[in-house]
Amino acid sequence: MDIVSTFFNVDVLLRYYPLLLEGLWRTIALGVLSIVLGLIGGLLLAIARLYGAKPVRFLAIVYIDVFRAIPVLVWLVIVYYALPFLGVRLSAFASATTALTMISSAYTAEIYRAGIEAVPRGQFEAAQSIGLGSFDLMRDVVLPQAIRIVIPPLTNNSINVLKDTALASVVALPDLLKQATQAQALAANPTPLIGAAILYLILLLPLVRLVAVFEARYSRRGAR
Amino acid sequence: MSQPEAIISMKGVGKRFGKFEALKDIDLEIARGEVVVLLGPSGSGKSTLIRCINLLEEYDAGDVHVDGIRVEKGKKLQSVRQEVAMVFQAFNLFPNHTILDNVALGPVRVRKLSWKDARERARRLLDRVGIAEQAEKYPSQLSGGQQQRVGIARALAMEPRILLFDEPTSALDPEMVGEVLDVIKGLAGDGVTLVLVTHEMGFARQVADRIVFMEAGRIKEIAPPDDFFTATRNERARAFLDAVLNH
């Protein structure tokens, strides 16, 4: 058995290619959904954390800290295996989306907060002085500037969420990794695993590059 | 209660930053349409005083009334702020909006104008401050003097009854000060009440109805400009004028 027929077996790859692609789409669906929901949830959390009434602020801090501390895998397993004891029975996909979103929200909340705090005080004052209410102040003046500042870290976090989707294979979600391990077992050959790794790289490497591009662009603009 | 002719009334206003007393026992009434210039050494509380008028600074003693409404946190604050516009030392234009939309944003969101109408009016205001041709640019593409004229147009767009100027020319290169002062001069006598903090003495003398001289958080003298500049009897004010006029 040589290396090529073991790890890069074309016959095996051709046979299980459709299976891998199916897994890839599921991984992308799970990742994109969790990222988008996490971006929305994080924004709401950040605003609650900064401007909520005292108890709201306190709850937001507790949430953000707890979900940044808990390992993704642990929370995922709890959502999938423990919640049914409370009568909450979610599918593997729904469990994974819920767990990833809840954790991503905590991280993005802190990123948004840093961005909002980096907007100069004079911007808030100018908006207040022309009579804008807090919703308009956020939407028209503060958030566009804050989000611009934090696009690189938000992209970074999105990459992490995409990578964490692989954990969903633990709750039997037929994502890319799960499909690959399944194919590997069926074919008694590790080529599908290598194929999956390559697909992950094709998906993620451009995004990693993108962060670098964003960092260069927004730090330059920020310097003006 | 404030007198009916006073559009701004401050009574016993005090403000602390920690141990530092920024304002002490400020009593000041400003009439409708009046032009009042605040003078005094830096750190004397001039900026803090005008920032109390639209509650960018929360005072912790006394009362501020604008047009009979007490200036305080709550539902009425926004209606006060709609009557009181401000021009800032650092311009504080919104970098994410074009010049035109910097001016149009307030009327759209607060006065509920359509973007089309608000932009039309914004164009007229930009014309009035002499920068109509910059309308589609972004603030960072303009010179300081141009940015500050946009700041004035943005304030005027709210059709305020009171305009506050917080050292509007202090951040400008000397050659740009004149163009901004000319715009402000054009506003005086227009019926709008102007309250200015400035270090431009010649301008203050020319434009003011009354000079308010402050030192260490207190008002030391209130006088018409000619009296103040030629015949102040207050020795602190005398020393201040000597320092700024003869160097």
Give B223's DSSP letter. E
CB contact under 8 A, A140 and B88: no
pLDDT interval class at A214 (50, 70, 90): confident
Between chain A and chain B, how many beta carbons pairs sit less than 8 Å apart?
Answer: 62
pLDDT at A149: 92
Greater confidence, B247 or A192?
A: A192
Residue B238 CB contacts under 8 Å (≥ 6 apart), including other chains: B232
Site from A121, A125, A129, A141 to mutate, B interface, most B CB atoms within 10 angstroms: A129
Residue B10 has pLDDT above 90, yes or no: yes
pLDDT tens by residue, A35-92: 999 999 999 999 999 999 999 999 999 999 999 999 999 999 999 999 889 988 889 9
Pairing state of beta strands B84-87 and B193-197? Answer: unpaired
pLDDT at B158: 93
* Closest Cα in chain B, distance from residue A195 (Å): 44
* Closest Cα in chain A, distance from residue B151 (Å): 9
Residue B66 has pLDDT above 80, yes or no: yes
pLDDT at A222: 47
Backbone angles phi, psi at B214, to 5 degrees: -120, 150
Residue B2 has pLDDT above 90, yes or no: no
Instruction: Return the percentage of chain B with pLDDT > 70, whole number.
Output: 98
Pairing state of beta strands B162-166 and B193-197? Answer: parallel
Would the CA dihedral through B75, B79, B84, B87 be positive or negative?
positive
Instruction: Return the percentage of chain A with pLDDT > 90, whole number.
Output: 71
Residue B36's identity, in one-letter code, is V
pLDDT tens by residue, B129-169: 999 999 999 999 999 999 999 999 999 999 999 999 999 99
Give A170's DSSP letter. G
pLDDT at B247: 63
3-class DSSP assignment, residue B174: helix
pLDDT at B4: 52
Site from B109, B111, B161 to mutate, A interface, most A CB atoms within 10 angstroms: B109
Cα Rg of chain B (Å, integer): 18
Give B85's DSSP letter. E
Instruction: Return the percentage of chain A with pLDDT > 70, whole number.
Output: 97
pLDDT at B35: 95
User: Alpha helix (H) ranges present in chain A?
Assistant: 3-7, 10-51, 54-69, 72-77, 92-118, 121-129, 134-136, 143-164, 176-187, 191-222
Please tell me whether the overall predicted TM-score, pTM, comes out greater than 0.90 for this model: no
pLDDT tens by residue, B73-127: 988 898 899 899 999 999 999 999 999 999 999 999 999 999 999 999 999 999 9
Indicate the Cα dihedral angle A82, A84, A89, A90, nearest 10°.
10
Cβ proximity of A191 and A11 under 8 Å: no
pLDDT at B5: 74
Q: Which residue does chain B place closest to A126, by CA atoms?
A: B92
Domains and CATH numbers, chain A: 3-222 (1.10.3720.10)
CB contact under 8 A, B92 and A144: no
pLDDT interval class at A172 (50, 70, 90): confident
pLDDT at A221: 52
What whole-number distance in Å separates Cα of residue B68 and Cα of residue A91?
A: 62
Residue A223 has pLDDT above 60, yes or no: no
Rounded to an integer, the average pLDDT of B59-74 is 93
**Token output for A213:** 């591009």
CB contact under 8 A, A140 and B109: yes
**How many Cβ atoms from other residues are within 10 Å of residue A176's Cβ?**
30
Residue position matching structure tokens 């999956």: A196
Domains and CATH numbers, chain B: 6-245 (3.40.50.300)
Residue in B81, B90, B155 nearest the CB of A128 = B81
3-class DSSP assignment, residue B61: strand
Residue A220 has pLDDT above 80, yes or no: no
Q: Which residue does chain B place closest to A144, by CA atoms?
A: B96
pLDDT at A170: 87
Greater confidence, B245 or A155?
A: A155
What whole-number distance in Å separates Cα of residue B154 and Cα of residue B172?
A: 18
Average pLDDT, chain B: 92
What whole-number distance in Å separates Cα of residue A103 and Cα of residue A97?
A: 10
Q: How far apart are the first and last CA of chain A?
A: 61
pLDDT at B1: 46
Residue position matching structure tokens 């503060």: A142
What whole-number distance in Å separates Cα of residue B99 and Cα of residue B96?
A: 10
pLDDT tens by residue, A82-104: 988 998 888 999 999 999 999 99
CB contact under 8 A, B81 and A148: no
